[in-house]
Chain A
Amino acid sequence: QKEVEQNSGPLSVPEGAIASLNCTYSDRVSQSFFWYRQYSGKSPELIMSIYSNGDKEDGRFTAQLNKASQYVSLLIRDSQPSDSATYLCAVSSLFNTDKLIFGTGTRLQVFP
Chain B
Amino acid sequence: DVKVTQSSRYLVKRTGEKVFLECVQDMDHENMFWYRQDPGLGLRLIYFSYDVKMKEKGDIPEGYSVSREKKERFSLILESASTNQTSMYLCASSSLAGDYNEQFFGPGTRLTVL
Q: Which residue of A lies closest to B30 (CB)?
A: A98
Which residues of the other chain, A, contact B31 by a CB distance below 8 angstroms? 98
The answer on a CB contact under 8 Å between A105 and B101 is no
Which residues of the other chain, A, contact B99 by a CB distance below 8 angstroms? 51
**A100 vs B99: C-alpha distance in the bound complex, in angstroms?**
14
Q: Does B43 interact with chain A (Cβ within 8 Å)?
A: yes
The answer on a CB contact under 8 Å between B100 and A51 is yes
Chain A CB count within 10 A is highest, among B40, B41, B43, B48, for B43
Q: Which residue of B lies closest to A104 (CB)?
A: B42
Which residues of the other chain, A, contact B8 by a CB distance below 8 angstroms? none
The answer on a CB contact under 8 Å between B43 and A102 is yes
Proximity bits, B76-114, A CB within 8 Å = 1, else 0: 000000000000001000101001111111111000000
With A44-B90, A99-B48 already in contact, the answer to whether A32 and B101 are too (CB < 8 A) is yes
**Interface size (A, Cβ < 8 Å)?**
21
A-B contact count (CB 8 A): 47
Chain A CB count within 10 A is highest, among B101, B104, B107, for B101
The answer on a CB contact under 8 Å between A104 and B102 is no
Which residues of the other chain, B, contact A32 by a CB distance below 8 angstroms? 100-101
**A105 vs B39: C-alpha distance in the bound complex, in angstroms?**
10
Q: How far is the CB of A48 from chain B (nearest CB, A)?
A: 10
Q: Does B19 interact with chain A (Cβ within 8 Å)?
A: no
Residues of A within 8 A of B (CB): 32, 34, 36, 42-46, 49, 51, 88, 90, 92, 97-100, 102-105
Can you give 24 contacting A-B residue pairs, CB < 8 Å? A32-B101, A34-B103, A36-B105, A43-B107, A44-B90, A44-B105, A46-B102, A46-B104, A51-B99, A88-B42, A88-B43, A90-B103, A97-B101, A98-B31, A98-B48, A98-B50, A98-B101, A99-B33, A99-B58, A100-B101, A100-B103, A102-B42, A104-B40, A104-B42
Residues of B within 8 A of A (CB): 31, 33, 40-43, 45, 48, 50, 58, 90, 94, 96, 99-108
